[in-house]
Amino acid sequence: LAAILALNQVKGWDYRSQDQGKKGYSDFALIGNGNAIIIEEKNISSFKELDKATVEAFKQIKDKDYATRYKKRGYTILKYAIIYCDHEAFITLGDE
């Protein structure tokens, strides 16, 4: 997904791989039109791990505080966890 976004720029959006948070880096972020889309990805080997990996992805977004700098600028924050397993992607939109 990151490669697709990097190679296919969307007008008005800025793609940031390894976007800097206060305590680490997100997998990537899309910034534009007053929105910040923060995405954390995880790979799992079994569908049994899906719920746990999703929780961990959102916990990482929160713990590493990726959103603060965008909140200060008045951006609407959207947080996504993308979990990959067996050539499938499971995408979950998080709560603000």
| Poorest-pLDDT segment among 26-30, 35-39, 48-52, 72-76 | 26-30
Average pLDDT, stretch 72-78? 91
pLDDT for 11 equals 60
Mean pLDDT rounded to a whole number for the chain: 79
The whole-model pTM stands at: 0.76
The tens digit of pLDDT for each residue in 78-92 reads 898 999 999 999 999
Cα dihedral: 13, 6, 82, 77 (round 10) = -20
The tens digit of pLDDT for each residue in 20-47 reads 555 544 567 788 888 888 888 888 999 9
- How far apart, in Å, are the Cα atoms of 77 and each of 3, 49, 73? 22, 26, 11
pLDDT for 61 equals 87
Domain extent listing, the chain: 2-93
> What CATH number labels 2-93?
3.30.70
Asked if residues 14 and 31 have their Cβ atoms less than 8 Å apart, the reply is yes
